[in-house]
Structure 1
Amino acid sequence: MPRKSAPRATAAIPDDFRVPPDFGARVVNWQRVHGRHDLPWQNTRDAYRIWLSEIMLQQTQVSAVIEYFQRFVATLPTVQALAAAPADQVMALWAGLGYYSRARNLHRCAMQVVSEHGGVFPTDPAVLATLPGIGRSTAAAVAAFSAGVRSPILDGNVKRVFARCFGIHGHPGERAVETRMWQLAEIALPAAGPCQAEDMIAYTQGLMDLGATVCSRGKPACLVDAGACPLSADCVARRDGLTGVLPTPKPRAAIPERNTVMLMVRREREVLLRLRPDSGIWGGLWSLPEMPVETVPFDAEAAEAAALDYARVYGAPVRAAMAGELTHVFTHFRLLIRAIRVDVGAGDLMVQDSATEATTETTQRWLSLDDLDALGTPAPVRRLLEDQARGGLF
């Protein structure tokens, strides 16, 4: 018998519900009075800063982005500067923000804007969406904030607002649900007119602000004060008591756990780092070499002995001992990291690849523990290195 396919989620919406004709105007008026106006990437038409902030804000909270944004634009203030920067500098400025493919695409996008668009970002959302790392919603946001273009956005915060306001059931990541939301996003845009540019900036920011500060995931403000939200009078979720149900969460799956043993090769105040491939986790960052050691069940004594033997390609090992253990949670799995420190003699200068026995200066480097900002490293590796810099084991 043919296997039945699982039922697909549908974008169920009440038949009698319509987008209020003043939906866009309400959001615009609310944002001008109650929205956010002092973020470091606001109050500008500079497409470079707008685009940079939008990329950083993908899957990352505003509070975490501000410091990174300010440091980034202070170091690379223009798209031309970013395009000309070495990849290591870009990754070092990004290190800690996570989702590192964003940084690689950021660099590629800057180079493409310079080479194909004369260093000027397009204002057509359809053209922007062809650039590396820019999707439909980000393209519309950049076009709206930099040029007042009338085009809908649909980021995570906006999906939550729409799911509740329009009573849309089904996980927003499902194609049918997302398609329905895009249709509503088009209809809900403020009317075109002489103030279109200013209205689109306020509307686009207003939807983001509503989702981030009022229609929050856990405790939407309308449950305490109906006047906090300009859409509360027409909100299906508030009317029907569904704010705790909508948007429909993604079905949860058990998070698998993986294990790795990292080798911390120390030469006085220097540690050996290896450049990870562009693809995969921590792509393009400098990390500690990983050892092919059986970790389940984990035998610390055996692992330390193996580390001594494995480290011989980097110099004459002196001693080995456990240097730390931590867990890092990714979107789809949890990684248990055990780090083993191996000291090598100060006179051992060659860095060799364990497979080819050839010096590979472009993929392996000694990094001073007093200069950890020189290279981009994954957050858990940075924590291990900071512990060593403070005087960790031996």
Structure 2
Amino acid sequence: MNTNVSARLLRWFDRHGRKDLPWQSETSPGRRDAYRVWLSEVMLQQTQVTTVLGYFERFVAALPTLRDLARADEDSVFALWSGLGYYRRARFLHRAARICVEQHGGELPRDFAALTALPGIGRSTAGAILAQAHGLRFPILDGNVKRVLTRYHGIDGDPASGPVKKQLWLHAEAHTPARRVADYTQAIMDLGATVCVRGNPRCDACPLAGDCMARRDGRTAELPARKASKSIPTRATVMLVLRDRQQRVLLERRGPQGVWSGLWSLPEASDADGAWRIAQRHARIDDAQTLPAFTHVFSHYRLNVEPLLFDRVAVHPGVADDPQLRWYGRDELDALGLPAPVRKLLLGMGEE
């Protein structure tokens, strides 16, 4: 184990590390609440700290314990998650909480194998929970840590590939100290997030700069290697905004597959003609108004959305018999898991 790296990082952390994040509160000296650590780790996957802070505070205010999360219904969980994206994270979080209540006495297990058996908890997340909540010596390898280790050791190749990831895990294990492991894991994450950033790293402020191979060889802009960029396809959809005389909007729960699975959203059609046919199945309609179009970008495609408003419609009573369809008033939207662009669209519409 290279104690020099961990010692330098810990000294840097004592002076510059982040120590006031809301998931860092300790239940005992050197121990953090496992539920809060877990929640933060899941939220921080593909999302920056500045974005996560508000979501985290609202989530733990509503669901302060793992048992509270397990008891919550899926709509409530999705409503708290709405806007963070990658909703599968929220579904796995909810499912794992229920498994913990059923099989682990309402607590996250302290055993690595049991933790990684839970939905949505991989090797790095499990390591972060065990290190930060229990002070156990387990390495982590999130995106920030990968960047630090790739540059420090001058590792070529895609960090997501099997051989490169194997090298990175070996280095992560070697550098993780036996003591102050919670502080160390926070330190190396903080270094990647605030100093060893993707563009224009602040090498003059880095405690590892003296023997960083990327800095020595002038390769900080090259490492980590970027994936070959590829163009993403564009798709188009028409979203139906069916609004009745009570200003309620018809929402449809999306199926278990595809994007926004399980969330409430607006009915969709491939074109305007299809939208009219769907609208006529749900309500008696007279006219439609085209609302401003917008584009929402997913990780794997771009979605061009044309919203079509059917206003002051007469509701077909048969809609009430379909559990996947429901009329919602504007004041009820906060309690629903809605895709962020759909929530923005509905809340931005004026009432008549």
TM-score range, shorter chain: over 0.9
Helix, strand or coil for the counterpart of 1:109? helix
Q: How far did 1:321 drift?
A: 1.5
Alpha-carbon distance in structure 1 between the residues aligned to 2:123 and 2:259: 25
Residue in structure 2 matching 1:172, options 145, 148, 159: 159
1:273 to 251, 254, 259: 251
1:346 shift after superposition? 4.5
Whole-Å Cα distance in 1 between the matches of residues 256 and 57 of structure 2? 25
Partner of 1:371: 332
Equivalence for 2:29: none
Q: State the distance in 2 between where 1:379 and 1:255 align.
A: 21
Q: Which moved more, 1:337-346 or 1:110-119?
A: 337-346
Deviation of the 1:372 alpha carbon: 2.0
Aligned length: 346
**Matched letter for residue 193 of structure 2:** A
Match of 1:211 in 2: 192
Secondary structure of the residue aligned to 1:132 is: coil
Match of 1:328 in 2: 296
What residue number does 2:95 align with?
108
Distance (whole Å) between structure 2 residues aligned to residue 55 and residue 261 of structure 1:
32
- Rounded Cα–Cα distance in structure 2 between residues aligned with 1:237 and 1:345: 63
Q: Deviations over 1:186-234 (max 9, x none)?
A: 11111x3xxx2xx101100001000000000111111xx2xx1111111
Structure 2 counterparts to residues 50-129 of structure 1, below 5 A:
50-129=37-116
Q: Report the RMSD for the aligned CA atoms in angstroms.
A: 1.5
**Of 331, 335, 347, which residue of structure 2 is paired with 1:386?**
347
Q: What displacement does 1:292 show? A: 3.6
1:317-340 superposed Cα distances (whole Å, 9 cap, x missing partner): 121121231101111111111111
The answer to whether the Cα contact below 8 Å between 2:238 and 2:270 also exists between their aligned partners in 1 is: yes
Equivalent-residue separation in structure 2 for 1:67 and 1:350 (angstroms): 40
Alpha-carbon distance, 1:347 to partner = 5.6
**1:1-54 deviation per Cα after TM superposition (whole angstroms, max 9, x unaligned):** xxxxxxxxxxxxxxxxxx744111111221122100011111322111111111
| Residues in 1 aligned to 2:187 and 2:23: alpha-carbon distance in whole angstroms | 15
SS for the counterpart of 1:98 is coil
C-alpha separation in 1, matches of 2:60 and 2:99: 19
**Identity over aligned pairs, percent:** 52
Q: Residue 2 of structure 2 contacts residue 174 of structure 2 at CA under 8 Å; is this kept in 1?
A: no
TM-superposed deviation, 1:125 = 2.5
| Structure exhibiting the larger radius of gyration computed from Cα positions | 1
> Separation in 2 of the partners of 1:308 and 1:119?
49
The TM-score, its normalising length taken from structure 1, stands at 0.85
For 1:223-234, list aligned pairs within 5 A. 225=204, 228-234=205-211
C-alpha separation between the residues in 2 aligned to 1:37 and 1:349? Answer: 56
Post-superposition Cα deviations, 1:270-297, rounded to whole Å, max 9, x if no partner, equal 110000123310111101001142xxxx
> Following the alignment from structure 1 to structure 2, what is the Cα–Cα distance between the partners of residues 54 and 277?
27
Pick from 312, 319, 327 the counterpart of residue 280 of structure 2.
312
**Offset at 1:138?**
0.4
Q: Which amino acid aligns with 1:320?
A: A
How far apart are the structure 2 equivalents of 1:242 and 1:309?
58
After the TM superposition, which of the residue ranges 338-347 and 55-64 deviates more from structure 2? 338-347
1:345 aligned onto 2:313: yes
Q: Please give the TM-score of this superposition, normalised by the length of structure 2.
A: 0.95
Tell me the CA shift for residue 98 of structure 1.
0.2
The answer for the alignment partner of 1:38 in structure 2 is: 20
- Give the whole-Å Cα distance in 1 for the aligned partners of 2:130 and 2:348: 44
CA displacement at 1:379 relative to structure 2: 1.1
Corresponding residue number in structure 1 for 2:120? 133
SS in 1 for 2:292: strand
Shift of the 258–292 alpha-carbon distance from structure 1 to 2, 3 Å rule, reads: closer
Question: 1:371 offset after TM fit, Å?
Answer: 2.9
* CA displacement 1:116-166 (0-9 Å, x = unmatched): 000111122232111111000000001111100101100000000011100
Distance 2:342 2:301 in 1: 17
Question: Unaligned stretches of 5+ in structure 1?
Answer: 1-18, 294-302, 353-358
Displacement, 1:370?
2.9
More helix by share: 2
2:233 corresponds to which of 234, 246, 256: 256
Which SS does the other structure have where 1:141 is aligned? helix
Question: In structure 2, how many angstroms separate the alpha carbons of the residues matched to 1:48 and 1:20?
Answer: 31
After TM superposition, give the deviation of residue 349 of structure 1 in Å: 4.3
Shift of 1:245: 0.6
Within the candidate set 144, 164, 177, 2:131 is matched to: 144
Q: Give SS of 2:59's match.
A: helix
Aligned to 1:15: none
